[in-house]
A = this chain, B = another copy of it.
Amino acid sequence: MALLFRATTENASRHRGNQVTNRKNIHNSEVPLVCQACEARHGGVCAALTPSQLTRLSEHTTKSAHERDTDMSRHAEQTDSYANILSGVVKLTKTMPDGRQQIVGLQFAPDFMGRPFAREDGLTMEAATPLRLCSFPKSLLEEMLDESPQMERRLHDQALVELDEARDWLLTLGRKSAREKVASFLLLIATHIDPERPVEKGSIVIELPLKRADIADYLGLTTETISRQLTHLRKAGIIEIEDRRRITIPSISALRHASETDRG
């Protein structure tokens, strides 16, 4: 069992955020250094805590790194912990008895993973990319949730955001053509992968966190169709394919248009 996931685990106290990039100039002496990186990016649930609560929590956090394709539900179960995503992408997948699969959600930094006080059913969570987490014991977090309604509201908010995203995706799966679906996916990645960047203007390059088969499972299509539609978008000048995983988008608004209409 333990062999099934390989994680490099370091105690947070030995680790002062020295790997952190993208960091803004924040010097809040009250906030634990380990947490500043998170805060700097765009506060996850922890942002709802007071500095003293944050200090208490940070004393029990563990940072860990995981390879692509690691089963994260297993990790959560084994360590009896919840976690924030520091970097990387997690895919949530549903599977039918006969093997058909559908990715029902993607989680990016700084999303919270897990469900305090509630069941998560029939869903597998896998690292879609190399992943870094900041984990805390379930018991401690649930304690703090009982103390801090703000933190619970934060989780509630994340659930509502995920609900909105799931519903947007229902529209995509139910009513869009394959071409529009692929464009919608690229748009989704472009707007989520780096929340720092203002995404409206200019040419951007995105790194796809999923391989073709995963994209297919996300869009309810086959890998062949993904491939064909990508080359179609390329020929239409809406994207440029640098390499299987890197795509440049000359104009986000052109892409957005393509995500809502088939005909030019």
Q: Which residues of A line the B interface, CB within 8 A?
A: 92, 94, 96-98, 100-102, 104-105, 115, 117-118, 121, 123, 146, 149, 152-153, 155-157, 159-160, 162-164, 166-171, 173-176, 217, 219-220, 260-261
A166: contacting residue among B152, B156, B163, B175, CB under 8 A: B163
The 7 closest A-B CB pairs, nearest first, are A174-B220, A166-B166, A104-B167, A173-B173, A102-B171, A102-B174, A156-B156
Identical chains in the assembly: 2
Let me know if B174 and A115 touch, CB within 8 A: no
Interface of A is mostly: helix
Q: Provide the bound-state CA to CA distance between A7 and B260, in Å.
A: 36
Distance of A17 from chain B, by nearest CB (Å): 31
Let me know if A153 and B117 touch, CB within 8 A: yes
Let me know if A155 and B152 touch, CB within 8 A: no
A102 in contact with B163 given A118-B157, A170-B94 (CB within 8 Å): no
Let me know if B115 and A160 touch, CB within 8 A: yes
